[in-house]
Amino acid sequence: MSVLPPRIVVCSNCQARPGAGAVPTLAAHEGELTVTWHATVCPHHLADRILAGKES
């Protein structure tokens, strides 16, 4: 069984695309890996970082 590439999820808030000024947030849901791109100022990105335990 091959490993599926991460599914790209577009943020409904900032609608950032992969590229300059965007940061990826990785998440796993039921064995599927997803990548959500956010603008660095997106509040959803900050929330994801807190949920991931990366923000102290």
Contact footprint for Zn ion (CB under 5 A): 11, 13-14, 38, 42, 44
Q: Which tokens go with 52? A: 């991931």
Residue number with CB closer to Zn ion (13 or 32): 13
Give the integer Cα–Cα distance in Å for 48 and 53. Answer: 9
Q: Which tokens go with 37? A: 């791109």
Residue number with CB closer to Zn ion (1 or 14): 14
Residue number with CB closer to Zn ion (44 or 49): 44
CB of 42 vs Zn ion, minimal distance in Å: 3
User: Beta 7-10 vs 32-39: how paired, if at all?
Assistant: parallel
